[in-house]
Structure 1
Amino acid sequence: MKKYSIAIVDDHLLFAQSLQTLVSSFDNYEVIFHAANGKDFIEVLNSNGHVPDIVLLDINMPIMDGVETMGWLKENMPELKVIALSMDDTEDTIIKMLRFGAKGYLLKDIHPNIFKQALSDVVEKGFYFSDRITNTLLDTLDKKESEKDQIYLKDREVEFLKYACSEMTYKEIANEMCLSPKTIDGYRESLFEKLQVKSRIGLVLYAIKHELIEMNDE
């Protein structure tokens, strides 16, 4: 049985050791190294050349945090499969990690069975996003696709959707599109209803799933 190699990047030693113990309890996974922050992680990658199959990356770390590390990986090793780990479920943080190419986003209070499933999905499908993070977006989309429903988006809706996947605020998007903030609010609410999502995260995941944006584009 193939064992998939895992690197843990987390500054909390106790959590990292507990996570390594959990990973080691799974038959087909093994932790090959642990780094306390992004800078140390990159140094290990550059020094030994051994690239793990999956990286478990904490968001909040000193010296070089998870977002900065994902930015480096986007430019240098975009093929690396990264699952973000955090207690932070704010939209801005999740969107940044997805835009930089994270294949999953897990909150640290998840059940071990869900964690194991996330590893399996990233290996087999290439991504994992929980219902808690996606607001059941993927289930909704799968249902619509199975019913062969076609969702038609106007050109300006697609343009707004792409901007919504960036780090721009809604006010900045309004300026970029030469529209009023009220009109932008209308686009947002219309897309929420049309795509059956409840948040900006939902818009991002829809765009990724339907290849309206590329994971590794600015």
Structure 2
Amino acid sequence: MNKTIAIVDDHNLFAQSLKGLVNSFQEYEVLSVFKNGQELIDYFLANKKHPDIVLLDIRMPVLNGIETMEWLKDKYPSQKVLALTMEHEEEIIIKMIKTGCRGYLLKDIEPDEFFFALNCVSNSGYYLNEDFSEALKCPKEQKTFKNFSQREIEFINLACSERTYKQVADEMNLSPKTIDGYREALFQKLELKSRVGLVLFAVKNKMVSF
């Protein structure tokens, strides 16, 4: 039985093209297409069949991606959602992750990587994209990291907040240069490339809760 997908995007041409791509994959099919978050909520409230994965645009009229994620987190926290975005907007993507999003897709993603992302979310729960090395993307076996210092754990938790790195430094009573050192050391240790990747890693490994 195919896994079902709901597409939520106000750009009709893109949404229909995405629908065609999803339906071209043998294992997946599009259940519904919605123009904004409110249409998705209305669908859920009508007690219709829930999709296995929601592909959710971030910038939409009526109800945007963040507002929609907040509703889903409250009502259906187990619903798997992938964010769709035109740009890598760190602050907004982190907000999406904090409200339960399982990863994000850039709208110019290659079809093979898109298919890979759907499989990752279906099988392991999260899609870890270019923020991670190939070794950590959708692993067959969970890779664990146990050698975190107390200060590293504190830094990770603060980095998953909406604080700037300067505010993190103030909170930890450290210089911005020292914080830069923590960040770069963790990026190297975890094979990460961005703060978004760090947040995804922390959420996936249950190092933080929101």
Number of equivalent positions: 208
Match of 1:136, as an amino acid?
S
Q: What is the deviation of 1:138? A: 4.8
Aligned partner of 1:164 in structure 2 is 159
Over aligned residue pairs, what C-alpha RMSD do you find?
2.6
Residue 60 of structure 1: aligned partner: 59
User: Shift of residue 137 of structure 1?
Assistant: 6.9
1:203 to 195, 198, 201: 198
Deviations 1:96-120 (A, max 9, x none): 2222222231111112222222222
Q: Which residue is 1:112 aligned to?
A: 111
Between the aligned partners of 1:154 and 1:168, the Cα distance in structure 2 is 21
Shift of 1:33: 1.5
1:80-119 pair list within 5 angstroms: 80-119=79-118
Q: Relative to 1, partners in 2 of residues 1:48 and 1:140: Cα closer, same or farther, differing over 3 Å?
A: closer
Distance 1:136 1:36, change over 3 A: same
Q: Output the amino acid matched with 1:8.
A: I
- Bigger mean CA deviation after superposition, 170-179 or 81-90: 170-179
| Structure 1, gaps ≥5 residues long | none
Alpha-carbon separation, structure 2, partners of 1:106 and 1:27? 20
CA distance in 2, matches of 1:43, 1:80: 15
Separation in 2, partners of 1:138, 1:152: 19
Task: Report the counterpart of residue 136 of structure 2 in structure 1.
Answer: 139
93-102 or 60-69, which deviates more: 93-102
Q: CA deviation at 1:209?
A: 4.0
Deviation, structure 1 residue 70:
1.2
Name the CA distance, whole Å, in 1 between partners of 2:126 and 2:134: 14
Q: Which moved more, 1:92-101 or 1:156-165?
A: 92-101
Q: In the alignment, which residue of structure 2 is the partner of 1:177?
A: 172
Q: Percent identity?
A: 50
Query: Counterpart amino acid of 1:155?
Result: Q
State the Cα distance separating 1:155 from its structure 2 match.
Answer: 1.0
Query: 1:152 corresponds to which residue?
Result: 147
Q: Which moved more, 1:170-179 or 1:85-94?
A: 170-179
TM-score, reference length from structure 1: 0.83
Encode CA deviations 1:6-57: one digit per residue, 9 max, x unaligned. Answer: 1110000111111112222223322222111111211111123321111111
User: Residues 209 and 54 from structure 1, CA distance in 2 versus in 1: closer, same or farther, beyond 3 angstroms?
Assistant: closer
| 1:94, distance to aligned residue in structure 2 (A) | 2.5
Cα offset, 1:196, TM superposition: 3.8
Match of 2:185 among 152, 166, 190: 190
Alpha-carbon distance, 1:58 to partner: 0.8
| Equivalent residue, structure 1, for 2:22 | 23
Any idea what SS the aligned residue of 1:128 has?
A: coil
Matched, 1:6 2:5: yes
